[in-house]
Amino acid sequence: MEEVLKATGLTKRYHGNPALDGLNLELPAGKIIGLLGPNGSGKTTFIKIAAGLLTPTAGEVTICGEKIGPKSKALVSYLPDRTCFSKQRKVTELLDFFGDFYTDFDRQRAEQMLTALGIDPDARFRTLSKGTQEKVQLVLTMSRRARLYLLDEPIGGVDPAARDYILNTIINNYDPSATVLISTHLISDVERVLDEFLFLYQGKVIQKGEADAVREETGKSLDELFREVFKCLPNC
Amino acid sequence: MNWKFSGDRPVYQQIMENIRGAVLRGELPPGGKIPSVRDLAAAAQVNPNTMQRAMTELEREGLLVGGGTSGRTVTENPEVLEEMKERILEELARECAEKFMVFGITPSQAARLLLELDKEKEES
């Protein structure tokens, strides 16, 4: 199967401290994959490199065979772990902005989702609660017809009911040619939507596999496996 | 259908059990149409690939038929349904018997109580 993302020997150092340490990774098409790891394991660094926001110290990432650049960015829809929009804008203006910026943006879809969430498109972004801001951002991210969705902590700041909605949004937008990478440490909330998982630790993939295979072989949930794996490791 | 999953068993197997239960209870009658994988996945809040896997396995068992463009339906073959019921009954009975034995209760003691419960239910 053609891989959507391929990372080889990916290394990123911040002032000499390695955040990613020779990471090798391939993400197949049509999967929902959990990027799981304790704080500081390199999840956000990896996602930012794949989204083209950071340059690696060494190694390479390709998206559908393209090196990171304008072409790869057109294929990737990235949800940052914090708000990146101008707070003075109205929600409709953000829709205009996405429509101008991304040719694969499906405005109708975004409007439908906003209506379903009861978000007023004429509201200014700054007047919305933090959770609602995150929802708007997710709606915009998922309304692109991208090949790779990089979601950095999509459920971190929202209540459990909104978490369900967000996970449903991810499921409902499922497209067999696209892959969704979700970084989180709220594993029990996301694990039933995951096909596969990657455990990241000190900038390396230390374990990966299929979620249902883990349950079948070990009788453990991913959450339990995570607690077990990372309990034995120092500094986390 | 009641979609609740425990984290320690494969989700696709739990989906299969759910569908089998709905068929045996009559919620999904023989010949009844099964919603699309996408709709089911959304309703159960699971990954569409997982739902697809459960459907494929149920097709292999013969409980569901079709799977082409017209969608899947519950089989109308009474033998398949009967066989499934027998198998589930046996599995459950074995499981229960084991649990009773843990507390030193014999299956025949348990059976007596089960019959009484059954009577109570009928009366109410």
- Which percentage of chain A shows pLDDT scores above 90? 65
On chain A, the residues whose CB falls within 8 A of the CB of B53 are 212
Q: Indicate if the pLDDT at residue A223 is higher than 60.
A: yes
Task: Give me the residues of B, 6-25, that contact A with CB < 8 A.
Answer: 6-13
Task: Give me the residues of A, 201-230, that contact B with CB < 8 A.
Answer: 211-213, 215-216, 219-224
Q: Indicate if the pLDDT at residue B37 is higher than 60.
A: yes
Mean pLDDT of B45-59: 92
Q: Indicate if the pLDDT at residue A236 is higher than 70.
A: no
Q: Indicate if the pLDDT at residue A156 is higher than 80.
A: no
What's the pLDDT tens digit per position in A70-101? 999 999 999 998 887 888 899 999 999 999 99
Long-range contacts of A233-236 (CB under 8 A, 24+ apart): A233/A201, A236/A38, A236/A39, A236/A40, A236/A41, A236/A201
Q: What ipTM was estimated for this complex?
A: 0.73
Mean pLDDT of B34-61: 91
On chain A, the residues whose CB falls within 8 A of the CB of B41 are 171, 174
* Residues 6+ positions from A147 with CB-CB distance below 8 Å: A4, A29, A63, A64, A75, A76, A177, A178, A179
Q: Which residue of B has its CA nearest to A33?
A: B47
Q: CA of A45 to nearest chain B CA: how many angstroms apart?
A: 26
Instruction: Output the pLDDT for position A141.
Output: 93
On chain B, the residues whose CB falls within 8 A of the CB of A215 are 7-11
Q: Are A193 and B47 within 8 A, CB to CB?
A: yes
Q: Mean pLDDT in chain B?
A: 89
Instruction: Output the pLDDT for position A84.
Output: 79
| pTM across the whole model | 0.84
Q: Are A172 and B38 within 8 A, CB to CB?
A: yes
Q: Tell me the pLDDT band of A235, cut-offs 50, 70 and 90.
A: low
Burial level of B32, CB count in 10 A (0-12/13-18/19+)?
A: middle
Q: Indicate if the pLDDT at residue A226 is higher than 60.
A: yes
Q: What angle do CA A2, A72, A140 make, to 5 degrees?
A: 105
Q: CA of A117 to nearest chain B CA: how many angstroms apart?
A: 16
State the Cα torsion A162-A195-A48-A86 to the nearest 10°: -20
Q: Tell me the pLDDT band of A68, cut-offs 50, 70 and 90.
A: very high
Q: Which residue of A has its CA nearest to B15?
A: A192
What's the pLDDT tens digit per position in A158-210? 788 878 888 888 888 888 889 999 998 888 888 889 999 999 999 999 999 99
Q: Indicate if the pLDDT at residue A116 is higher than 90.
A: no
Q: Are B11 and A212 within 8 A, CB to CB?
A: yes
Instruction: Output the pLDDT for position A66.
Output: 93
Residue A79's identity, in one-letter code, is: L
Q: Which residue of A has its CA nearest to B45?
A: A168
On chain B, the residues whose CB falls within 8 A of the CB of A167 are 45
A26–chain B Cβ distance below 8 A for any pair: no
Q: Indicate if the pLDDT at residue B50 is higher than 90.
A: yes
Q: Got the DSSP string for chain A?
A: --EEEEEEEEEEEETTEEEEEEEEEEEETT-EEEEE--TTSSHHHHHHHHHTSS--SEEEEEETTEETTHHHHHHEEEE-SS--S-TTSBHHHHHHHHHHH-TTB-HHHHHHHHHHTT--TTSBGGGS-HHHHHHHHHHHHHTB--SEEEEESTTTTS-HHHHHHHHHHHHHT--TT-EEEEEES-HHHHGGG-SEEEEEETTEEEEEEEHHHHHHHHS--HHHHHHHHHHSSS--
Give backbone dihedrals phi and psi of B80, rounded to 5 degrees, phi first: -60, -45
Q: CA of B43 to nearest chain A CA: how many angstroms apart?
A: 9
On chain B, the residues whose CB falls within 8 A of the CB of A222 are 7
What's the pLDDT tens digit per position in B94-121? 999 999 999 999 888 888 888 998 888 8
Q: Tell me the pLDDT band of B38, cut-offs 50, 70 and 90.
A: confident
Q: Are A188 and B7 within 8 A, CB to CB?
A: yes
